[in-house]
A = this chain, B = another copy of it.
Amino acid sequence: MASPGHVDSLVTDSRLIEERRGQILRAAVKLFSQEGYYTTTIAQIAREAGVSIGLIYQYFGDKDDILFLSLKMVLETYEREIPLRLEGVKHPVDRLCTAIWAYCAIVDRLREATVLAYRSTNSLRADRRSLIKDEEIRSNRLLEGCLRECIDGGYMRAVNEYLLVYQYVMFCHAWALKYWAFQGKLSPAEYVSEGVKILVEPFLTSKGKAALATMRKNTGNFKHDKKRASRAKAK
């Protein structure tokens, strides 16, 4: 019996599979994000990826496979990149804030893909839907870990961790989901720093607040903020 998470390819060379799948998935994510899953045709994906229609079926079993791997690719980006940005960050409060910064920065970069995940997870075959949810749970654990360290270290008072983590997740996703509402009113950096004031600071103990005050500023996370950030540093 086929496991729901497996996607077959007719091609044997695994380096080629990696390369072609990447090429096709990039095109698919772009089009699915812009047009939606059902209104994007295989022919469009082929054209966008610069390959033939037939080739797509050498690397994916059907359209559902493409959606599944597209969503998986997006969620894996979260799981892969947040830890990268946490490397070397030691203090629990710093780690929590950095994780939120990182999550928002990735959402900003993959804004349309993030919306895609909300729109199209339900278009997946049922057995795969839960695999995608597992993937989401895994990225949530990254935030959960940071939050727990803060509480365990006495930097934060006791709260309903489970719920607060979901507030963090929704906050990060909202940057994509409600972009039409924030765009022009808040820069991404402002969005996050204001968010921290609302969702992190109120729960910090005095020990936690002290830590936050001496903390490096999480600037330079967003491409478009770079100039502003360097000007800020200059001062």
**CB within 8 Å of B: which residues of A?**
36-39, 115, 118-120, 122-123, 133, 137, 159-160, 162-164, 166-167, 170-171, 173-174, 177-178, 180-182, 185-186, 191, 194-195, 197-199, 202-203
9 smallest CB-CB distances across A and B, nearest first, come from A202-B202, A38-B38, A170-B170, A160-B194, A119-B119, A170-B174, A118-B118, A163-B194, A164-B198
Copies of this protein in the assembly total: 4
- B118, B137, B173, B180: the one within 8 Å of A133 (CB): B180
Q: Is the CB of B36 within 8 A of A159?
A: no
A197 to B180, CA, bound (A): 29
- Smallest CB gap from A130: residue in B: B180
Interface of A is mostly: helix
| Chain B: minimal CB distance from A206 (Å) | 15
The smallest C-beta distance from A145 to any residue of chain B, in angstroms, reads 17
Interchain Cβ contacts under 8 Å between A and B, 22 examples: A36-B122, A36-B123, A37-B38, A118-B118, A118-B119, A119-B120, A133-B180, A137-B181, A160-B197, A160-B198, A162-B185, A163-B186, A163-B198, A166-B178, A166-B181, A167-B167, A167-B170, A167-B198, A170-B170, A170-B171, A170-B174, A202-B202
| Sample of 14 further A-B pairs with CB below 8 A, known A36-B122, A163-B198, A170-B170 | A115-B122, A118-B118, A118-B119, A119-B119, A133-B180, A133-B181, A137-B181, A159-B197, A160-B194, A163-B191, A166-B182, A167-B198, A170-B177, A170-B178
Query: Could you tell me the distance between the alpha carbons of A186 and B164 in the complex, rounded to whole angstroms?
Result: 13
